[in-house]
Amino acid sequence: MTTPPRQTATYLLKRFRESGFEPFARHGQNFLVDLNLLDILLDAAELGPQDVVLEIGTGMGTLTTQMAPRVAEVVTVEIDQHLFQLASEELIDFENVTMLQQDALRNKNNLHPAVLETVAEKVKAEPGRQLKLVANLPYNIATPILSNLLETPIVPVLMVATIQKELADRIMAVPSTKDYSALSIWMQSLCDVELVRVLPPQVFWPRPKVNSAIIRITPNAEKRAQIPDLTFFHTFVRALFFHRRKFLRSVIISAFKEQLDKEAVDEVLTRLHFASDARAEQLDVQTLLMLSEAFRVKVLEAQDARE
């Protein structure tokens, strides 16, 4: 298949005017119209014939048309019915593009089963296929998409996306900074993260009020192997950062009040040499991994003792 014509900003705006389309703020619709930056996004994704690409936010299919000739399959998801129809016209000749008109999320903690089932079907269709997320992510769902994909049955080998710069800062933040959060810990504990490019508002239509960024996230199998129970770790970290500035001891006592008494919490913290004034926001990823595992084991011991 030959490379398709590139959808320039002039072309997109003409199509929007002709169809009467107006961006819907609730869906986080901002369209990347600088095609040079689109090339940077594609280069970072390192697409190849073994790849099945998940794209969230089809838009007009601008990115989709550039990816489809390079990969095995594209599964692209668009919630807006008007945009879905416009993109369908642009993508009609691509036999390896599957379009889904729906919300990509079932709820804030889970992707929609229909999306996951479609992706799994495409990945399993041929030996050697691998999943990548490549998308201009709608700002309002970028966090749950990136974080929840790491807990799905088919974890992407790579995620490359445009997101708010503020979100990129949170993902890459270090301890004792304002952006350091449960999301920072979750992403860094499982992935290698690289900021590819900062994008000013003028490269989008309509212009957002904030800077954006292209981020490249590579899930790391060795990092993942350090975490015996992903669900426990994810829940543990979110609980610790729910009150990030409170003393660690009081946050943990509150989080485990149904499972551990104060003496059990103090035993773990004393054994691991945590100071009485320690706070979660001061702890690096490796320390939190160690702490989480210690409490996971303690909870299991407490359960065994009750049975």
What domains does the chain contain, in order, with CATH numbers? 9-224 (3.40.50.150), 230-306 (1.10.8.100)
Examine the pLDDT at 7 and tell me if it is beyond 80. Answer: no
pLDDT band at 93 (very low <50, low <70, confident <90, very high): very high
Mean pLDDT of the chain: 92
Q: Is this structure's pTM higher than 0.85? A: yes
Examine the pLDDT at 68 and tell me if it is beyond 80. Answer: yes
* The pLDDT value given to residue 243: 84
Examine the pLDDT at 274 and tell me if it is beyond 60. Answer: yes
* The pLDDT value given to residue 25: 52
* The pLDDT value given to residue 155: 96
* The pLDDT value given to residue 14: 76
* The pLDDT value given to residue 262: 96
What are the DSSP calls for the chain, one per residue? -PPPPP--HHHHHHHHHHHT----GGGT--EE--HHHHHHHHHHHT--TTEEEEEE--TTSHHHHHHGGGSSEEEEEE--HHHHHHHHHHTTT-TTEEEEES-SEEETTEE-HHHHHHHHHHHHTSTT-EEEEEEE--GGGHHHHHHHGGGSSS--SEEEEEEEHHHHHHHH--TTSTT--HHHHHHHHHEEEEEEEEE-GGGEESPPSS-EEEEEEEE-HHHHHT-S-HHHHHHHHHHHHHTTTSBHHHHHHHHTTTT--HHHHHHHHHHTT--TT-BGGG--HHHHHHHHHHHHHHHHHHHHHH-
Average pLDDT value for residue range 211-225? 97
* The pLDDT value given to residue 206: 80
Q: What is the pLDDT of residues 96-149, one digit of tens each?
A: 999 999 999 999 889 999 999 999 999 999 999 999 999 999 988 999 999 999
